[in-house]
């Protein structure tokens, strides 16, 4: 039963992002700000740091491909960025003290890097005409605030779950 819990958790976060976007429209706040939930990326980073790094990278690869197929027109953007950011955060955490606050900040920086890379790639191939200052004001900052709230709420439960997962892997 425990074997299926981790994939179900990631499928839940994958679907939660879509549900969140549809159920919380920007018009609700009388604003043109764009809130992009990156709950899946945060969960992948937490799995990579607290659980098993290889499993984190595999989940990043699988869900990056799934994200590309379901949500984007360009296959490969998230397929590359999810594992890259998960790997990068795992390397950064080897240099830093691994407490929950530092990991929360590194996770938020991972989300910031993901958003920035996606914007730059879409800007380079002319899929967006939004200038960088508008991107920062309308999308980047609101997205980081939303994902910071998610991290504050779910950091400890994710940490505990992935630590138990890592212990169960060691016991096998």
Residue 57 to residue 82: CA distance in whole angstroms:
8
Residue 84 to residue 19: CA distance in whole angstroms:
26
What is the predicted pLDDT for the residue at 152?
97
Q: Is the pLDDT of residue 103 over 90?
A: yes
Q: Is the pLDDT of residue 1 over 60?
A: no
Concatenated DSSP letters for 86-97? HHHHHHHHTTS-
Within-domain flag for 28: no
Question: Running DSSP on this structure, what letter comes out for residue 45?
Answer: H
Largest distance between two CA atoms of the chain: 52
Average pLDDT, the chain: 93
Within-domain flag for 39: yes
Within-domain flag for 27: no
Within-domain flag for 13: yes
Domain extent at residue 53: 2-19+33-171
Mean pLDDT of 22-31: 72
Q: Could you identify the residue written with the tokens 């960088």?
A: 132
Within-domain flag for 144: yes
What is the predicted pLDDT for the residue at 31?
77
Residue 53 to residue 14: CA distance in whole angstroms:
20
**27-48 core/surface letters (b: 16 or more CB in 10 A; e: else):** eeeeeeeebbbbbbbbbbbbbb
Q: Is the pLDDT of residue 46 over 80?
A: yes
Residue 39, C-beta contacts closer than 8 angstroms, at least 6 positions apart? 13, 16, 17, 20, 147, 150, 154
Within-domain flag for 24: no
Within-domain flag for 90: yes
Contact call for residues 42 and 107 (beta carbons, < 8 A): yes
* pLDDT 10s digits, 48-95: 999 999 999 999 999 999 999 999 988 899 999 999 999 999 999 999
Within-domain flag for 160: yes
* pLDDT 10s digits, 105-117: 999 999 999 999 9
- pTM for this prediction: 0.94
What is the predicted pLDDT for the residue at 56?
96
Number of domains in the chain: 1
């Amino acid at each position: 039963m425990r074997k299926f819990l981790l994939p179900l958790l990631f499928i839940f976060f994958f679907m939660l992002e879509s549900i969140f976007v549809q159920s919380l429209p920007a018009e609700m706040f009388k604003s043109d700000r764009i809130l992009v939930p990156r709950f899946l990326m945060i969960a992948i980073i937490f799995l990579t740091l607290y659980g098993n790094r290889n499993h984190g990278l595999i989940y990043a690869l699988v869900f990056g491909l799934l994200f590309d197929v379901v949500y984007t027109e360009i296959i490969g953007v998230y397929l590359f960025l999810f594992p890259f950011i998960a790997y990068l955060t795992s390397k950064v955490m080897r240099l830093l003290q691994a407490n929950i606050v530092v990991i929360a900040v590194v996770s938020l920086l991972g989300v910031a890097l993901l958003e920035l890379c996606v914007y730059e790639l879409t800007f380079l191939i002319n899929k967006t005409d939004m200038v960088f200052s508008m991107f920062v004001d309308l999308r980047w900052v609101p997205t980081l605030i939303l994902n910071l709230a998610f991290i504050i709420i779910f950091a400890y439960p994710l940490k505990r779950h992935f630590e138990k997962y890592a212990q169960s892997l060691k016991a096998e």
